[in-house]
Amino acid sequence: MKYLLTGLGNIGDEYANTRHNIGFIVLDALASELKTSYTTQRYASLAEAKLKGKQLLLIKPTTYMNLSGKAVKYWLDKEKIPVENLLVVSDDIDLDTGVLRLRPKGSGGSHNGLNHIIDTLGHSDFARLRIGIGKNFAKGFQVEYVLGKWTKAEEKIMLEKIPVAVEMIKNFVLSGTQYTMNQYNNR
């Protein structure tokens, strides 16, 4: 069984440790725990690992956030991974900072990366782990906020939540979406 675990973010040092890159940050924590590292591949940085006999492909798209669907579709097709074995990890301004929410499908809302994946795949029937970053910004300043660095208070919350997000991803692989939702959502 193969799984495609995708963390959304933007490449480049100027985007490191920004709210919009929490998908990359969580995937890096998972890669570290699984003792694997990334190589540069087509459309993504790729790390491979095994978890209790299941093959994991971790990708961080190098296409920038708004074109994330190119990387997801390419790796699903190349590795012949069924869409039910796809998990996308992304930030979400509609959830309070640190709230973790797994869903089996749904709209992309205002998230351009999720919307591009939906448009590219032609459907929204894939699991996503949404990580709340809050919306503590003035009207018209959403871009600056999501591309901004964490405050000290936000960083403290996220440092506690990143290991939980990693556990949720592993549970998704080992026990499925429904079980993981029951165990972790609304905690």
Per-residue pLDDT of the chain (187 residues; tens, 9 = 90+): 999 999 999 999 999 889 999 999 999 999 999 999 999 999 999 999 999 999 999 999 999 899 999 999 999 999 999 999 999 999 999 999 999 999 999 988 889 899 999 999 999 999 999 999 998 888 888 888 889 999 999 999 999 999 999 999 999 999 999 999 999 986 6
| pLDDT number for residue 98 | 94
Q: Annotated active-site positions, please?
A: 20
The domain 2-184 having CATH identifier 3.40.50.1470: the answer here is yes
At residue 107, the 3 state secondary structure works out as coil
Please tell me the predicted confidence (pLDDT) of residue 110. 83
Residue 36: how many CB atoms within 10 A of its CB? 16
Q: Which of 132, 180, 170 is nearest to 154 (CA)?
A: 132
Give the pLDDT score at 47.
98
The pLDDT value recorded for residue 139 is 86
Could you give the CA distance from residue 186 to residue 2 in angstroms, rounded to a whole number? 28
Q: Residue 36: helix, strand or coil by DSSP?
A: coil
* Confidence at residue 74, expressed as pLDDT on a 0 to 100 scale: 98
Domain limits, the chain: 2-184
Find residue 119's DSSP bridge partners.
Answer: none
Q: What is the pTM of this model?
A: 0.95
Which DSSP state fits 18? B
Q: What is the pLDDT of residue 138?
A: 81
Radius of gyration of the chain (CA): 15
Strand partners, 149: 18
Q: Considering only CA atoms, which of 44, 84, 89, 47 is closest in space to residue 67?
A: 44
Quick one: pLDDT at residue 108?
87
Query: Do β-strands 127-132 and 100-103 pair in parallel, antiparallel, or remain unpaired?
Result: antiparallel
